[in-house]
Structure 1
């Protein structure tokens, strides 16, 4: 054994871990196994500026190929890990090679949920968005004047709806739950975002599911909805959530449950194997959660790198997220799960507003819509364990920075 670290996954977490390890001057042998042919690249712009054509793929890559050579990182592209032998501490690669490891990090990410073939999910013209190839196919189909159906009112679906409208498509978005963003945001935030999309021409149908897609010659042409409507469509974008890529871990006998279960140090049930990013289920207060965000992928991966390099500090998540839709930036600090009260605060500029989440009297999250000050102040308060008076937050005349003391 040569103290080799094997990282499975070339996304944000896998790259961030390798880069941080080298920044910490840990020069152990590192092999990064990535199943795509491209150099590791940023994913969030795929549903935003890449899809609109504002950013080409070469602007999304984290580092050029020479960086991996210079940092002695053995980069295996177009390669996947097919099995883990925990007893021998080795992994089987898709090209037939075996790699021994001293430590193994699973940064396998998550994959979009697809519509079943029984309802037309395998028809041509039905898209999910995970990698640049998906975005390329979708971008080619987004022609002005066409009609798009978006299935799912979460952030991915809403971002796709925004891009489609910006590119001149007619857009209908359906959400089976009572409201958009129901799983991740308060009803006040849903109301604000709903108004933003309807004002830009999106037909937004909540409490409405998909019965089936209709095809002609293998291509989608119409959708039958749960409310009895039948609408003609040229393309369908599916945004019904993601599932953790935990199959490799399950087959290896690691603890899983909606992802790969890790402790505060990123360790799985096998102390030689770690997990980080969208595939990992981690402690957060008295809960186990999976945080689907670039910020968590980077922070958790860098924490694992520090632990591998000899640090003893546990990873404490400080969640924040963002979503770009049209000219609107939604920034989220904290984690609003379990909130029992919200306060809506008008911003200083037209179109700016924030939603403040409280649980048992304590501030736990802030959604800021085109309101950077509310986001920055709210994030600082949450990380410091501060709770501002609700009346002060509701009053637009209150100087938020003054509340920081």
Structure 2
């Protein structure tokens, strides 16, 4: 078996953890939008300073409610602004995030919470809370359940109002690079899901090297990415953390059925997805071209794009004729496809896992 390696471009801090990122962002880029959240159908920016303040407020509530360093806290929700907020709040309180897919059955929830030893669970909706409550008698270690759609953040803010920012920062500093950051559960295709412990170092190394190697795509104050993958999946989590690490503006959306509209309204400069997402965009564009009587030209454009991409990986590069064809189709087809992706997207990166993999 052949092995390939590249030298690391990012040096993982020896004694830091992921909460350092949001404090650094607030200090170095206080007024830069780092999150885009959708409120009543419109995007609202959250600056680095605002995000840190909201994370600290939630972390105070977790601490006041008994979360101690190393405690497992489950997070059962679709991809949304509160997912990123609570992820960093759990870390700031010294906890370890245990993601749970929002489509999980009560039996799957019971297994993951019980196996991880979760002492608390943050859920998105009444349905999620009901699913957890239905198995709560089999989870003797579960002390608290907070529901996002029923004022979880307000309750946490109220619970922790007597704590200070310094109290949170002191607790945040307990974890080191080698402390567990999360326990991600496998799909369970070979039996019950198995918990994979990932440390802060794991995310630093992975995301840090991605950001460094692709620096032109991660320009603070200019670049943006829309996260529509499940945040419970590790690839979605990498998108979240890499965006915060850069930092660039991160938008989070819950319903992939509205993806085309969200892409066009958020207008990301970078799209990170999985093959199935790009297949859906491609198939939708091809179907529209066929309906407009332009199916043949679309297919020729697709063949040209593939040939051009492959030629770029050869020493000689694309031939003169191929470059001309590529320019022609860029005017006729590619620009329209980019419009579907929001109009600003210059790069699309695909991971290998299918959308919604469990």
Of structures 1 and 2, the one with the larger relative CO (CA 8 A, separation 6+) is 2
TM-score scaled to structure 2, two decimals? 0.26
Is the helix fraction higher in 1 or 2? Answer: 2
